[in-house]
Amino acid sequence: MLGKLMKYEYRATARWFLPLYTALLIFAVINKYLPPAQVTAIEGAFNIKQIITVITMFAYFFLVVGLMVVTFVVVIQRFYKSLLGDEGYLMFTLPVKTWEHVTSKLFIALFWNLLSIIIAFGSVLLLIPTQDLRELSRSLKQISEYLWPAGFIVIIVLCLVSLAFGIIIMYAAIALGHLFNKHKLLASFGMYLGISTLSQMIAMLAMPFFIKPLTNSLIAPTPTQFNTLFLGISAVTAAMAVGYFAVTNIILKRKLNLE
Amino acid sequence: MNTVLECKDLVKYFGSTKALDRVNLNITQGRIVGLLGPNGSGKSTFIKICNDLLTATAGEILIGGLRPGVETKKFVSFLPEKNYLNDWMKVSQIVAFFKDFYSDFDSGKAFDMLNRLNIDPNSRLKTLSKGTKEKVQLVLVMSREARLYLLDEPIGGVDPAARDYILDTILRNYNENATVILSTHLISDIETILDDIIFLKEGQVVLTKTVDEIRDESGKSVDALFREVFKC
């Protein structure tokens, strides 16, 4: 059933992302091959070439911002509207377990978040002139040689865990807000602030434990020390994410009140 | 007779407002039951608790001997009074969606009914009128071979001609072992198809009788009795 839920969740969200991705990549390519705007070379009142360049630059910029906004909004809207809005009547009468609903939303949200990041970076790479790209790849190579292979995996783990955490705390905030009889959205927002503060406090309490080995050494930290730190952060974040997931699941299972 | 739905001292509060007040019911297999009462009497609340969309404050409800949950949802077909259709699917896609999730769903039956109601399977849900959306939902719900149908205001928003077809659909599409519970305040329209009635008033069950009993005892129609019981 989880697979089926994810299939429909993907379809419901793809109509937002696929056109945006396509547009973003197209504008990145256009910007790369159009000559850069020459502000000083004004001959006459209108310089069509220049106007087009400026417009495509702005279009690209707005698409990047738009992609970030849409990614954020879709995560919230898909959870709120499809589970706790009128569509919840359909979703919650399906013979499906509550955790499967939450998990399907989470996985698909994670998928789009990752893809949005990859596409946004990819479009930047498309924009960069070829000779700069070579330099960039050289420095990236140095970094990755320094980290490779353990550090590389650790960073990916940290990114995934942090992304999932960011999504789950929004779910938990919405679910907690649902417990209120009135002003559910406002309550959700307040809950979000509350959960964020709580999480930061937990992180601050846990952090010295992981940072200590780093500050003790007088020489530059070794990759292993970095990896330990990042894994520590990942573990704390993951533990909190699991906790918030459980809270979300319990509320939707035992305290669901669709009005 | 087999009990399909049983509830014991069911209580539901919304904040400090009492929506259901110690409801006790026992509904058996193979009946068409009218859940009748004025607006705000707790009809929808009751049906939503049956579907696990609301959590009861106290008391117990058993459907086929089970608490509402994944297992009961497999054999309960629910029509809410709300429009629950999303805005991105086509009619044919929501039919496929039901087919995917409910093993007792019959797509052929659904397309037949859509055809009878002149609903184009290729139209987008977003573009349908309110009444047409209600018809689509009813088609979806009645295309299942469920043991219990819970229909909340199934004829509230549709025109009288479609109303007749819908009632006819309900009658034709449920097998004799299944139970239909439908809530409405349009009593005269559905009176002829009902076996039993439950009157709800301010969250309390004030009367449960078979339609035959009502006719024999008082010589009144359900509609006349309703007007008498709920006189303002």
Q: Do B55 and A254 touch (CB under 8 A)?
A: yes
Q: Do B71 and A93 touch (CB under 8 A)?
A: no
Spatial separation of the C-alpha atoms in residues B26 and B218, rounded to whole Å: 23
> Average pLDDT over chain A, rounded to whole?
86
Bigger pLDDT: B196 vs B232: B196
Query: In angstroms, what CA-CA distances link B151 with B24, B65, B110, B138?
Result: 19, 20, 17, 9
Q: What are the structure tokens assigned to B69, written together?
A: 């949950």
Spatial separation of the C-alpha atoms in residues A186 and A184, rounded to whole Å: 6
Residue numbers in A near B67 (CB within 8 A): none
Percent helix, strand and coil across chain A, each rounded to 5? 85, 0, 15
Q: Do A95 and B71 touch (CB under 8 A)?
A: yes
Residue numbers in A near B51 (CB within 8 A): 92-93
How many other CB atoms sit within 10 Å of the CB of residue A203?
A: 13
Picking from A74, A80, A81, A90 by the largest number of B CB atoms within 10 A of its own CB, the best residue to mutate is A90
Q: Do A181 and B15 touch (CB under 8 A)?
A: yes
pLDDT, position B94: 96
pLDDT, position A221: 67
pLDDT tens, B54-77? 989 999 999 999 999 999 999 999
Looking at the DSSP assignment, which residues form a beta bridge with residue B149?
Answer: B77, B180
- Asked if A133 and A125 count as a contact pair (C-beta separation under 8 A), the reply is yes
Closest-approach residue (CA) in chain B for A4: B100
User: What pLDDT band is residue B231 in, cutting at 50, 70 and 90?
Assistant: confident
pLDDT tens, A19-77? 999 999 988 888 877 765 554 455 555 677 777 778 888 888 899 999 999 999 999 99
Of the candidates A4, A15, A256, the beta carbon closest to that of B55 is on A256
pLDDT, position B140: 93
Q: Does the pLDDT at position A171 exceed 50?
A: yes
CA atoms within 13 A on the CB side of A45: 0
pLDDT, position B158: 76
Domain ranges of chain A: 1-127, 132-259
Q: Do B86 and A90 touch (CB under 8 A)?
A: yes
Instruction: Give the distance from residue A119's alpha carbon to the nearest chain B alpha carbon, in angstroms.
Output: 25
Looking at the DSSP assignment, which residues form a beta bridge with residue A100?
Answer: none
Q: Do B78 and A97 touch (CB under 8 A)?
A: no
Of the candidates B55, B71, B84, the beta carbon closest to that of A90 is on B84
pLDDT, position A40: 47
Nearest alpha carbon to residue B77 among B111, B41, B112, B51:
B51
Domain spanning B1-75+147-156+176-232, CATH architecture? 3-Layer(aba) Sandwich (3.40)
Percent of chain A with pLDDT over 70: 90
At A169, give phi and psi (nearest 5°): -70, -30
pLDDT, position A173: 96
Cα torsion B95, B101, B104, B110 to 10°: value is 0
Non-local (6+) Cβ contacts of A98 within 8 A are A249, A252, A253
Percent of chain B with pLDDT over 70: 100
Q: Do B53 and A256 touch (CB under 8 A)?
A: yes
pLDDT, position A134: 82
